[in-house]
Amino acid sequence: MAQEQDSTLETLYAGMAESAQIIGQMKNELDLYDGSIKEFAQARRAFGLSAPTAFAALVAALPAPPAED
């Protein structure tokens, strides 16, 4: 019984550690996204563009998606 509980706790702790790692990665990605939004807003203001105009220019500058076979 004690061995079974130890195994269950080990599995639980391993899952918690994995979850913490995933949450950390998600936070890093959100921080990068937040930084990109701030940079976009600064550039938009620097060029005196409205948000819709700046967004349209950004979308137009994106590369075309690869052609499907």
Give the C-alpha separation, 51 to 39, whole Å: 13
Domain of residue 29: give its range.
Answer: 10-60
pTM above 0.85, yes or no: no
Domain assignment of residue 50, yes or no? yes
Domain assignment of residue 3, yes or no? no
CA 35 → CA 9, 29, 39, 60, distances in Å? Answer: 39, 10, 6, 21
Give the C-alpha separation, 3 to 9, whole Å: 10
**What is the number of domains present in the chain?**
1
pLDDT digits (tens, 9 = 90+) for 12-69: 999 999 999 999 999 989 888 888 888 888 888 998 989 888 888 888 888 888 888 6
Domain assignment of residue 32, yes or no? yes
